[in-house]
Amino acid sequence: MTALLHGQVAFVTAAGSGIGRAGAIALAREGALVVVTDRDAGLAQQVAAHIAALGGHAQGLGLDVARDADVAHAIEAVVAQHGQIDIVHSHAGVQFSGGLLEATVDDMDRSWALNVRSHFVVARAVMPHMKRRKSGSIIITSSNSGVQLDRQMIAYATTKHAVIAMTRQIAADHAQFNIRCNALCPGFVDTPFNAGFERQLGGRAGLETYVQASIPMGRWADLEEIAQGIVYLASARSGFMTGHALVLDGGESL
C-alpha cells in the first residue's frame, strides 16, 4: 500500500519539540519528505535525524519565523532543491498569561508577531509555488482558545481567534486554485508551552486540577493524537475541507 503522503514535500515551522515535532514525525511516517525548521537549528537537526533513523526522509534547518527575509529564503531554497512544497504546517506560537490590566503592550505585540503575523509571512511566501502547481495544504496552528474565551489570557485568546479568521480568509481566496487552508486547534497537551498558564494557576498541581475538572474527557491529549490531526489536514483524507478549525481538545470548548 502506498504511503498516504508519498512523494510530497512538507515544510514545518517550530518543529524542534512538542506538537511541531510530533507532527513532523507523523508526516514523514506517511511518506512525506519533511523539512523540519526551528529557531534552534540543533533541535531541528535532531528531529530530522530521528526521522531518518526511523526510515523516513527529512532535513533540519534553523529558522526564526520572526525574520521575514529568512522565511522567504528558506522556502525558496526548499523549492529550488525539491521542486515543490505540498504541505505547510506553520506552527510557531507563544503564550502570555494575564488579563487587560496584567498583560503588557509588549506581551500583545509579541503574541501578535508569532501567533498571527508569522503565519501570514509563511503562507504568503509559499502561496505562489502552490498556485503554480494548483495544489497544496496549509495548516496553521491556532488553539481551542481560538474558539472560546480563556479567562485572564487576553493576548493569547485574541491572537488565536485572529489566526482562525486569517486562515478562513486564505481558504476562501485560494480554494479556486485547489489550495486548502485549515487551522489546527489543540487543547491541553502536556508540553512546556503551558508554562504561562501553569504559573497563572499557581503551579503544576493547579494545572493538573484544571485539566481534570475542565476537560470532559478528564485528561491531557497525547501528542500522537494531535499529530494524527495534522496528517488528516495535510492529506487527501480532508480533501474537501478548507477554512475549518479542527478542534482536538477532549471536549473542553463545548
Sign of CA dihedral 137, 142, 143, 149: negative
pLDDT of residue 210: 84
Contact predicate 240/207, CB 8 Å: no
Note the pTM of the prediction, 2 decimals.
0.95
Provide the annotated active-site residues: 156
pLDDT of residue 21: 98
Contact predicate 239/175, CB 8 Å: no
DSSP 189: B
Helix ranges (H only) for 40-117 are 41-53, 68-82, 105-112
pLDDT in tens, 84-128: 999 999 999 999 989 999 999 999 999 999 999 999 999 999 999
pLDDT in tens, 182-225: 999 999 898 877 777 778 778 888 888 888 988 999 998 999 99
C-alpha cell recorded at residue 28: 514523514
Sheet holding 245-248, edge to edge: 57-62, 33-38, 9-12, 87-90, 136-141, 179-186, 245-248
Query: Domains along the chain?
Result: 9-186+224-243 (3.40.50.720), 191-220 (no CATH)
Helix, strand or coil for residue 12?
Answer: strand
pLDDT in tens, 159-185: 999 999 999 999 999 999 999 999 999
